[in-house]
């Protein structure tokens, strides 16, 4: 059982606005492989070789085969105790904004509301012709490729390497960081920008920074509290302690 600083618990109880950023680490606790881990390879391809506009233009069938594999991985696993604890924290906190770099939608599956998806999600696809973005159930598959009702080819609704993050989501995340009293960075490498800028933005605006991660990151020296460990082990106890 983790022993939490009384000052941290008091701050959580009194916070009017809380912002949380989660990264691939929280999904890895559910069993999903990360891009940079040993599970990041597929058929001798690196994720970085497939998750690009150029790869899709060159061989959309290959890219879609990989994304169907990733969708299957998401369906084979479940949200973990960390996801559930964050959803419970959101229910108990006055105003909590959850921002994620994850694309599995486990936060929503665990009950979180209004999740800001910086990198999109694996569940939906977007039509390259009409722009409609819907869940995979509406995809019309022919010859290994999904099409829209309008006849246009669909692509995964994720942000690929070399693409800009969705502007509206990024602005919402920036605003949440600037307005919060306490900012949590959970399961992130603190290396991928612009998401890695969020805790610094929050700190500059006067927020307390809490990092939860098994290993130290470049953010650790800037954090007011570093809770070392897995999100699924730390967060349930934290929610129980401050409630």
Catalytic residues: 119
Cβ within 8 Å of residue 94, ≥6 positions away? 15, 16, 17
Nearest alpha-carbon partner for 24 in 39, 10, 46: 39
Residues 197, 11: Cα–Cα separation, whole Å: 23
DSSP three-state, residue 183: strand
DSSP letters, 103-168, are -S-HHHHTT--S-EETTEEEEEEEETTT--EEEGGG-EEETTEEE-TTS-BEEEEEPPTTSPPPHH
Terminal-residue alpha carbon distance, the chain: 16
Three-state SS at 97: strand
Report which DSSP code applies to 94.
S
CA distance 87 to 62: 36
Longest dimension (CA), the chain: 59
**How far is 155 from 88, CA to CA, in rounded Å?**
33
Residue 126 phi, psi (nearest 5): -125, 135
């Amino acid at each position: 059982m983790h022993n939490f600083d009384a000052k941290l618990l008091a701050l959580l109880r009194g916070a009017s606005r809380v912002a949380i950023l989660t990264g691939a680490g929280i999904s890895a606790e559910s069993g999903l492989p990360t891009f940079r881990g040993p599970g990041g390879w597929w058929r001798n391809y690196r994720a970085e070789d497939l998750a690009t506009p150029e790869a899709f233009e060159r061989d959309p069938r290959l890219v879609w085969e990989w994304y169907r594999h990733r969708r299957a991985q998401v369906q084979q696993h479940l949200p973990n105790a960390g996801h559930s604890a964050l959803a419970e924290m959101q229910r108990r906190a006055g105003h909590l904004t959850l921002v994620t770099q994850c694309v599995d939608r486990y936060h929503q599956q665990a009950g979180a509301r209004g999740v800001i998806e910086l990198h999109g999600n694996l569940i939906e696809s977007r039509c390259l012709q009409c722009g409609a973005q819907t869940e995979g159930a509406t995809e019309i598959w022919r010859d290994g490729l999904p099409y829209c009702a309008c006849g246009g080819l669909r692509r995964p609704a994720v942000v690929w390497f070399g693409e800009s993050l969705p502007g509206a989501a990024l602005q919402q995340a920036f605003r949440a960081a600037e307005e919060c009293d306490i900012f949590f960075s959970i399961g992130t490498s603190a290396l991928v920008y612009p998401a890695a800028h969020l805790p610094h933005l929050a700190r500059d605006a006067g927020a307390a920074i809490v990092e939860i991660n098994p290993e130290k990151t470049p953010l650790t020296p800037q954090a007011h509290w570093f809770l070392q460990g897995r999100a699924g082990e730390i967060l349930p106890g934290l929610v129980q302690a401050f409630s």
